[in-house]
Amino acid sequence: MFNYQQDCSETDKIAAFLSATAQVITETVKKLLIMCGCEVVINSQGLELRYDVSYGDMKAVFFFRNLYLEIATVNRDAEPLQFDEKLRDHYYFVSKASFIIKSKLEILLKLLKSDNTDKTIDEIFTEFNGERIFIEKLDNLRRKNGTNPNAANN
């Protein structure tokens, strides 16, 4: 699937892996979001890549840096980072990437489709116990336009 020198650093292995797989990962995320009814605008590139995602009146920004590192490493928080050598097996890569992408998108979509984000965030803490996702900002255009985002039939 990708090659690297046996004596290269963990960082170089991660970089080689991401240069070979990042496009597949980002296109998969984009297609899944579109299939779920979201609009997606691509911003930036490389490790700083992000998607501006809209679903109805809700908007969010999806950053890829942590997703990439979660897939590419044994533990994205470890110091120093360690490349997940099992990713050299294509089936392991597909399985690991699919699981991580699914878990992140489930949370994002649950938030975007919610009429009551505060309640949904509480549900996410319970339902996705142990799953990590960083939410910097979630825009609700209905709230900005003066309508009640929690009212039925909005």
Residue 76 lies in domain: 10-128+136-142
Task: Please write the tens of the pLDDT for every residue from 33-63.
Answer: 999 999 999 988 877 889 999 999 889 888 8
Rounded Cα gap, residues 74 and 87, in angstroms: 10
Task: Please write the tens of the pLDDT for every residue from 86-121.
Answer: 999 999 999 999 999 999 999 999 989 988 888 888
pLDDT exceeds 60 at position 154: no
Residue 92 domain-assigned (yes or no): yes
Residue 122 domain-assigned (yes or no): yes
Residue 152 domain-assigned (yes or no): no
pTM of the model: 0.79
Q: Domain total for the chain?
A: 1
Residue 105 domain-assigned (yes or no): yes
Residue 58 domain-assigned (yes or no): yes
Q: Supply the mean pLDDT for the chain.
A: 84
Residue 5 domain-assigned (yes or no): no
Residue 79 domain-assigned (yes or no): yes
Residue 67 domain-assigned (yes or no): yes
Rounded Cα gap, residues 74 and 29, in angstroms: 21
Amino acid making up residue 128: F
